Structures are given as structure tokens and as C-alpha cells.
């Protein structure tokens, strides 16, 4: 199982560049390069459409996501009666459910990102600032956690504390901070070595405060980048848990729940697997293209 679309090295490269890009013009340069990348632009367009649909689509649809109807069970996609993507075994409209599932995954993605950025920045700054043996130990811990099957941690958390959706946010965020911690540590160390710290110190500011002051304002870029990297991990992880019956519970729904139901009914109602599956794969592919595009845009040295 593979929860990140990008391997660790690529991820680190992107984040590192995102954190070290300073100033408006550099960002607009990066944006220009990103918009020149056809695959990334396609990804952005598809993702925006999915995003807008998930947020606003339900407002324009005549059905509610938890509205069961025993007269419309397993109906194939139909343009006349408004069940554009068909209905499920409870007669609920599939399209609305897919859009609600998308909302949920995207929300978890954003919240989990914020949690993991918070932990990562704190850990990385402390490790880089303290340096020496403590730094070595702290980084070795990160190294080991990288290799842990963190999904199993998450499952255990779900087992112990019950299947709680808020817990899911935090659990995912709590295991996804490693990359951020490494990047921030690197930044902290290089800031620590810079001369201007010496001069500011002479003015009576502590090095730690100076580092924090330099890192925090530059976090906006990395957070946005991190969200694009994190959302796919969240989507897959949540789907994985839901597939096992440990994730989102009825009547709430997610793409993972829909896919796992769909694969059960695959032979009688193909649309139940194909539509949610398509949404998920399209989103993941778009995010992958955007991630690749971001790397090239932020770090354009490669020919």
C-alpha cells in the first residue's frame, strides 16, 4: 500500500524549495512556470472542477445524500429523473453521495495538513535549534518512524478510541509530520549559522525567537504545497480504513465507503464502483500531476 503519490525524496525537494522561496516575484515566477506545464494545468482544472462540484454541487441537486427511497433501488444512471449517476441499494442518489464523500476527504486533508505542519514545524525547529546529540536522536526517531507502518498505529487508535472521525483527522496529521520536520530542521540549522543572527543577538534577541520569526511568515507557501501532497495520502488512507470497515460510518460517506460498497455490488450495479472509482483516480492523478509540476516550477534547474 502506498499512501503518498510522490516518493519521499521528491516530496522533500518540493517542500524545501517551497520553504526557501522568498518574496513575491519568486512565487510569481514559480506560478508562471507551473501554468506553463500542461499536465499540471490539466490536473489543476480537473481538481478545481471536482472541488467546486463537491462544495456547491449538492446545493443544486434535488436529492439529499441520506435520502433513502425504496422505489428507486439500484437504478442505472438516468438523465430524466435526476439520478445522473444512478442510485444505490437504498435508493440514494449516487452523485450527491460522491460529492459529499469528496467534501469529507478534502476537509480531512486540510485539517490533517494543519495538524502535521504544526507538529512538524515545532519538532523541526527544536531539533535544529538544539543541535548536537539531541538533534541526532530526534532525527533518528524521524528516520525510524518513516519506516513504521503508520496505518497500523492508526488502526490501533481507532480500535482503542472507537471509530471517531475527528480522531481520524488527528491521527493522520500526527503521522504525516515527518517530512515537514526534516525540512524545517534544515532551515533552522542554516538560519542558525547565518551571520545576521549574530547581529540580532547583539540587540538582545534570542536565537530561538529569531528563527521562529523567520520560519513562521514563510509557512504559507509550504502549507499550500503540503495540502496538495497530503490530500492524496488522506484520500487513500481514509478509503483504506473505510474499506476495512474502520473508517467513516453511515450515514456519512466517503469515496472509500462508496468504493467498498461498489465492489461488493460490482456485478449487479457497475456504476456504484465505476463512478466513485473514477472520481478518486482522477483526483489522485490530478494531484500527482500538480505535485510533479510544483517540483519543476519551484526547482527549475533540471533540464
Give contact residues for other proteins (rule: CB under 8 A).
1-3, 5, 7-10, 36, 137, 140-141, 143-144, 146-153, 155-160, 236, 239-240, 243-246, 259-260, 263, 266, 273, 277, 280-281, 284-285, 288, 300, 303
Compute the least distance from the CB of residue 279 to other proteins, in Å.
12
Residue 104 or 259: the one with the smaller Cβ distance to other proteins is 259
* Sign, Cα dihedral of 23, 288, 49, 98: negative
Compute the least distance from the CB of residue 58 to other proteins, in Å.
24
Compute the least distance from the CB of residue 148 to other proteins, in Å.
6
Residue 138 or 211: the one with the smaller Cβ distance to other proteins is 138
Residue 210 or 237: the one with the smaller Cβ distance to other proteins is 237
Q: How many Cβ atoms are within 10 Å of 272's Cβ, its own excluded?
A: 25
Compute the least distance from the CB of residue 165 to other proteins, in Å.
17
Q: Which residue has the cell 506560478?
A: 31
Q: Which residue has the cell 489522485?
A: 284
Question: Distance (Å, rounded) from C-alpha 15 to C-alpha 11?
Answer: 6
Residue 113 or 239: the one with the smaller Cβ distance to other proteins is 239
Residue 280 or 294: the one with the smaller Cβ distance to other proteins is 280
The answer to whether the beta carbons of residues 163 and 219 sit under 8 Å apart is: no
Residue 2 or 80: the one with the smaller Cβ distance to other proteins is 2
Compute the least distance from the CB of residue 69 to other proteins, in Å.
27
The strand pairing partners of 93, in sequence order, are 87
Q: Which residue has the cell 525537494?
A: 13
Compute the least distance from the CB of residue 263 to other proteins, in Å.
4
Could you tell me the CA-to-CA distances from 93 to 223, 257, 272, 287 in Å, in that order? 35, 15, 10, 27
- By CB atoms closer than 10 A (0-12, 13-18, 19+), residue 152 is exposed
The answer to whether the beta carbons of residues 125 and 185 sit under 8 Å apart is: yes
Amino acid at each position: 500500500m502506498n499512501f503518498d503519490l510522490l516518493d519521499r525524496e521528491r516530496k522533500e525537494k518540493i517542500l524545501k524549495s517551497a520553504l526557501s522561496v522568498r518574496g513575491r516575484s519568486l512565487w510569481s515566477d514559480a506560478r508562471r512556470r507551473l501554468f506553463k506545464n500542461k499536465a499540471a494545468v490539466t490536473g489543476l482544472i480537473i481538481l478545481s472542477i471536482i472541488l467546486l462540484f463537491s462544495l456547491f454541487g449538492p446545493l443544486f441537486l434535488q436529492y439529499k445524500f441520506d435520502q433513502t427511497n425504496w422505489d428507486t433501488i439500484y437504478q442505472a444512471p438516468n438523465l430524466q429523473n435526476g439520478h445522473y449517476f444512478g442510485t444505490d441499494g437504498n435508493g440514494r442518489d449516487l452523485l450527491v453521495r460522491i460529492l459529499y464523500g469528496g467534501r469529507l476527504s478534502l476537509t480531512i486533508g486540510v485539517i490533517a495538513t494543519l495538524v502535521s505542519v504544526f507538529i512538524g514545524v515545532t519538532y523541526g525547529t527544536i531539533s535544529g535549534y538544539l543541535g548536537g546529540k539531541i538533534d541526532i536522536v530526534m532525527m533518528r526517531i524521524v528516520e525510524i518512524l518513516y519506516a513504521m507502518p503508520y496505518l497500523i498505529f492508526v488502526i490501533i487508535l481507532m480500535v482503542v478510541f472507537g471509530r471517531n472521525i475527528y480522531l481520524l483527522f488527528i491521527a493522520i496529521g500526527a503521522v504525516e509530520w515527518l517530512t515537514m520536520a526534516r525540512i524545517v530542521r534544515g532551515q533552522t540549522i542554516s538560519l542558525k549559522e547565518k551571520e545576521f543572527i549574530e547581529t540580532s543577538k547583539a540587540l538582545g534577541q534570542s536565537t530561538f525567537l529569531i528563527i521562529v520569526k523567520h520560519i513562521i511568515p514563510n509557512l504559507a507557501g509550504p502549507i499550500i504545497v503540503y495540502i496538495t501532497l497530503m490530500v492524496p495520502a488522506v484520500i487513500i488512507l481514509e478509503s483504506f480504513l473505510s474499506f476495512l470497515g474502520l473508517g467513516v460510518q453511515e450515514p456519512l460517506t466517503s469515496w472509500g465507503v462508496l468504493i467498498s460498497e461498489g465492489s461488493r455490488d460490482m456485478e449487479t450495479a457497475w456504476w456504484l464502483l465505476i463512478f466513485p472509482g473514477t472520481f478518486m483516480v482522477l483526483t489522485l492523478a490530478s494531484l500527482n500531476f500538480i505535485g510533479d509540476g510544483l517540483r519543476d516550477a519551484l526547482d527549475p534547474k533540471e533540464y
